[in-house]
Structure 1
Amino acid sequence: MIWLGAIIVLLTFAAIIKRYETRMVLFVSGLLMALLSGKPLEAIDAFGKAMVNPTLVTVICTVMGFAYVMKLTKCDAHLVHLLAGGLTKFRAVLIPGTVIITFAINIALPSAAGCAAAVGAIMIPALIGAGVHPAIAGSAVLAGTWGSTLSPGATHNPFVAKLANTDVMTVIAVLTPADLAALAVVVITLTAVAYIRKEHHVEGQSVIDGNDLGEFKVNIIKAMVPIVPLVLLVLGSKQVQVIPEVTVPQAMLFGVILGFVVTWVNAQEISKQFFAGMGDAFGSVVGIIVAAAVFNEGMKLIGLTGALIEAMKHSESIAKLAATFGPFIIAVLSGSGDAATLAFNGAITPHAAQFGFGIIEMGQQAQVVGALGRSMSPVAGAAIVCAGLAKVNPIELTKRNAPAMVLAAITTMLVLL
C-alpha cells in the first residue's frame, strides 16, 4: 500500500508539472489513496475542515479582497510606479531585496501563508511592474517565507528550548548564524536563476496600464495606502507590540476603508470589488488549499507519511542526513514542515549527544530544513498564495526555488552539525 501511495504521489506531481488542473489532480489523488486505505470519508472530512480553516481562509480572502480594492482605486498602481520607478535604477537589488524584506517581515509575522499574502499583495505586482518575470516575482516572496525560524513565537523554538532546558532566545541565537548564511545562499542562488533564465527583466513588461513608468504621476498618499495594513501588522505583532495586536482581516479592512477615504471612489463599487476578490480567492487560492488537504490526508491514510517519518526516525546512524533531508523531503511533498519536524525532534533530538551533536543544533536543523522544504513545495499555502498573486502555476515557483532551498539546507547542515 505504501509503495502504491508513493507511485500515486509521483504521478500527482508529474500531472501538476504537465499542467493538468491542479485542484482536480490533488483531490483525485488524495481521494484515491483514501479509497485504497478504506477510509474515503476521512479525506472528505479533511476537505470540509480546510474549507472553513479560520486562519487561512479569512487571511487569504480578505487580502485578495483588499488587493481588488487597491486595483479599483489605483492605489496599487501608484505604489507600483513609485517602487518600480526607484528600483529600476537599481535593478540588481530587485530580487534579492524582495527575499530579504519578506524574510525579515516573516520574523514578526510567523505565518508563512499570512506573510506571503500580506507582502505578496504589494511586492509581486511591484516586481512585475518593474519588468521581473511573474514566476520569479512570486518565487522571490516565497523564498523569504522561512524567516519565522528566528521568531520567538514559532512553534519549534520553544519546543527545542524545552528539550535543551534553556530559554528561547538562546535557541534562536544558536540558529541565527546558520540562518543568515542560508539566507545569503538563497538570495544569491535565486538571483542567479533569474539571470540564467533571463527572467530578471522581461522586455516590454515594465509598462503598467499602458503608461510608461516615467510618465505616470505618482500620488504619494495613494501610494502609501497599500502599505498601511502591512505596517499595522508589524507594529501590532507580539515581537514589536508598539500598538495593540492587529489581525490580518482587521488590517485589510482598515486598508479598504482608508482607500475609500483617500480616493473617494464610489463606495458601492468598492464593496462589489472587495467581495468579488474574496470570492475569486476562495475559488482559486483556497480551492487549491482544500484540494491539497485531501491529498495530504490521503498520504497519511495510506501510510506514506507515517512510513517516511518512521524511516527518518530509524536513520540514527546517519543522523546528520536524516535531520536535514528527512523533514525537508516530507515538507516538499506535504507542503508543511511542522509534522515531520516535531516527529523528528520528539524522537531523535533528545538523543543528539549519542550522535555527537547538541540538542539545540540538531533540533534547529530539523526546524529550518522543514521550513526550507515548505518554501519550495507546490502544495504549501504560501506557494499557492504567491502563485495566485503572480498568476502562475505553483510548480513554476518550485522549479525556480528548488536549487536555492536545497543549497540552503546543505549550508545549515554544514554550519549547525
Structure 2
Amino acid sequence: MQDLRLILAIIIVFLTGWGVYKKYNVNIVLLFAGLSLNLVAICFGVEDILPKGAKSTGFIGFDLFEQLRLIARSQLASTGLIMLVAGGFATYMDAMGASDKLVTACLKPLKKLSKPYILVGCVFLFGNFLGMVVTSAAGMAMLLIVSVYPILIGLGVSNLSAAAVIASALVFSYAPSSAIAVIAANTAGIDPMTYLIQYQLPVALPAVLAAAVVHTLVQKYYDSKIAPGSGVVEIDTSELDKKKERAARLPAIYAFLPLTPLVLLFIFNKMVYKTVVLDVASAMFMGWVVAIIVDWIYRRNTTEVFKDGFAMFRGMGSMMTNVVGLIFVAGLFAAGLQTTGLIGALVDGAKHAGLGLSGTSVLMSIVIAIVTILTGSGVASFTSLVPLAPSIADSFGGNAADMALMLQFASECSRPLSPVAGVVIICAGFAKSNPIALVKRTFWPCLTALVISLSLAVYFMH
C-alpha cells in the first residue's frame, strides 16, 4: 500500500510538471496538484493533514480546504505582506520617475568607458546592483533596453551581445526587495537582512564577478565571428528620449529615494544596530511616505503627487495576483508532498546513497534548473519546492537557509537559459533575433554563475 501511495504521488508530480510545461495557469495547476496529493494521503489512511497544532474542522474532507486557509493566513501575515509592500514600493518608484533618475545617475560613469566589451561586463554588474531595487527580470530588461542598449550598440557591440547581457542581468535577486529572496529567508526562519548579508552576498558576489568576466569574453568571441556592423540593429530611441527628458527634469535627490528602505535596513538590523531593529515592510512604508513628501515639496501639485503615491496600492494588488497567490497554492502542494510520504522517501533514499544535505540540495537544485529551462519560470519550481527545505534540512541536522539559498540561485541562474522565458523573448524580440540564438550567448555566463554559487553555498554550509 505504501508503494502504491508513492507511485500515485509521483504520477501527480509528473502531471504537475506537464501542466506547467504546457503553460496552463501555474496557480491552478498547483492548487489541484496539492488537493490531489492530500486526497491520496487521506485515501491511504492519513488522518491528520493540517499543520502542527492546528485544530480539525471535524470532517477530513473539509480539512483539505482548512489546510489551504491556514497556509494562506500564515504566508500573508509574514512573507506575503513583505512582498506586497515591496512590490508596491517598486511600482511607486517607477511611477514617480525615481527609478529612471537612479539609472540615469548610475549610467554617467559607464558612458565614459570606451572599450565596448569591458562595458558589457560592467552592464552585467550594473544590472545586479539595480537588482537591489528592481526585482522583476522583465522590468529590469525593459529598463536597461531603453537606457544601456543604445550605448552598447553605439560602441559597436552586436545586437545579440547587448541583448544577452541585458537578459541575464538579474541572474540573482536580493533580499529584502526580491519576492523570491524573501520567501527563501522566511522559509528558513531568518530575517531577510540576515539572509542577505550572511548567506546571499558571500555566495553571489564571487559568482557575479566571474559571470561578468565570462560575459566579456563570450560576447567578444561570438561578435568576432560575424562581419563588422552586420550584427547591429537600428533601434527606436523615442522611449529612451522620453525617459531621459523625464529624468532630467527631476532633482538629484530622486535618485536616492529607491535606496531609502535599503539604507534603513542596512543600519537598523540585528547585526549592526541591535537595539533598534526595523522590519522590512516598515522600512518600505517609511520610504514610501518620505518619497511622497519629497515629491510634494518639489512639484507642489497635490493632485498629481497623491495620484502617483496611490501607485503603491496598484503595485501591491499586482504582486498579490502574480506572486503572493502562488505561494499559497505552492505551500499546499509542498504539504501534499509531505503527507503522501514522498519527501520522507526522498530523504531516506538520499541518506542511503550517502548524499547528505549538500548532495540532496544540489540534486533538488538541478531539478529546479531543468524545470525552469523547460518552462521559462523559476518562480513556479522554486515556490513549489522551497517549503520542503526546513523538513529536509532537519532530517540531515542541517540549516534550511543553505538549501533555500541553493534552490533560489538555481531557479534564477537558469531563467536566462530558457528560450521560453519572458525576459529572453523580450530581449530577443528587441534585438530582432530568435530566442535560441540569444540563449547561446547567455549559456556560459549563467552556467558559470550557477556552478560557482552552488559550489560556494556547499562550501559555506552552516
Q: The TM-score by the shorter chain falls in which range?
A: 0.5 to 0.7
User: Is the contact between residue 66 and residue 256 of structure 1 (CA under 8 Å) also seen in structure 2?
Assistant: yes
Instruction: Please state whether the residue corresponding to 1:211 is helix, strand or coil.
Output: helix
Rounded to whole Å, the distance in 1 between the matches of 2:107 and 2:364 is 38
Correspondence for 2:80: 57
User: Is the contact between residue 34 and residue 42 of structure 1 (CA under 8 Å) also seen in structure 2?
Assistant: no
Where does 1:1-400 land on structure 2 (aligned, <5 Å)? Answer: 1-38=5-42, 41=62, 44-52=65-73, 53=75, 54-87=77-110, 89=113, 90-99=119-128, 101=129, 120=135, 124=140, 126-129=143-146, 130-131=148-149, 135-141=167-173, 204=235, 208=239, 210-211=241-242, 213=244, 216-217=247-248, 219-241=251-273, 244-264=276-296, 266=303, 267-316=305-354, 322=359, 325-326=362-363, 328=365, 335=383, 339-340=388-389, 343-344=392-393, 346-348=394-396, 368=402, 370-377=404-411
TM-aligned CA distance change 1:138 to 1:8, over 3 Å: farther
**What is the Cα deviation at residue 373 of structure 1?**
2.1
User: Is the contact between residue 305 and residue 330 of structure 1 (CA under 8 Å) also seen in structure 2?
Assistant: no
Instruction: Please state whether the residue corresponding to 2:270 is helix, strand or coil.
Output: coil
Tell me the TM-score normalised to structure 1 length.
0.65
Identity, in percent, stands at 21
**What is the Cα deviation at residue 287 of structure 1?**
1.4
User: Is the contact between residue 9 and residue 340 of structure 2 (CA under 8 Å) also seen in structure 1?
Assistant: yes
Deviations, residues 256-301 of structure 1 (Å, cap 9, x unaligned): 2222222215354245322222222212221122221222122222
Q: Quick check: 368-377 or 330-339, which moved more?
A: 330-339
TM-aligned CA distance change 1:31 to 1:138, over 3 Å: farther
Rounded to whole Å, the distance in 2 between the matches of 1:390 and 1:43 is 38
**What is the Cα deviation at residue 5 of structure 1?**
2.1
Rounded to whole Å, the distance in 1 between the matches of 2:67 and 2:295 is 42
Rounded to whole Å, the distance in 2 between the matches of 1:43 and 1:263 is 48
User: Is the contact between residue 38 and residue 336 of structure 2 (CA under 8 Å) also seen in structure 1?
Assistant: yes
User: Is the contact between residue 30 and residue 294 of structure 1 (CA under 8 Å) also seen in structure 2?
Assistant: yes
Tell me the TM-score normalised to structure 2 length.
0.59
Aligned length: 354
Counterpart of 2:276, as a letter, is: P
Instruction: Please state whether the residue corresponding to 1:372 is helix, strand or coil.
Output: helix
TM-aligned CA distance change 1:137 to 1:11, over 3 Å: farther
TM-aligned CA distance change 1:214 to 1:155, over 3 Å: same
Matched, 1:411 2:411: no
**What is the Cα deviation at residue 203 of structure 1?**
7.1
TM-aligned CA distance change 1:74 to 1:287, over 3 Å: same
TM-aligned CA distance change 1:67 to 1:312, over 3 Å: same
Rounded to whole Å, the distance in 1 between the matches of 2:331 and 2:422 is 17
Unaligned runs of 5+ in 2: 43-48, 50-60, 114-118, 150-161, 191-197, 224-231, 370-380, 413-420, 427-438
User: Is the contact between residue 128 and residue 205 of structure 1 (CA under 8 Å) also seen in structure 2?
Assistant: no
**What is the Cα deviation at residue 97 of structure 1?**
4.7
Counterpart of 1:371, as a letter, is: L
User: Is the contact between residue 362 and residue 406 of structure 2 (CA under 8 Å) also seen in structure 1?
Assistant: no
**What is the Cα deviation at residue 42 of structure 1?**
5.1
**What is the Cα deviation at residue 207 of structure 1?**
6.4
Deviations, residues 363-388 of structure 1 (Å, cap 9, x unaligned): 58x9645522232348xxxxxxxx99
Instruction: Please state whether the residue corresponding to 2:410 is helix, strand or coil.
Output: coil
**What is the Cα deviation at residue 231 of structure 1?**
1.0
Higher Rg of the two aligned structures: 2
User: Is the contact between residue 34 and residue 334 of structure 2 (CA under 8 Å) also seen in structure 1?
Assistant: yes
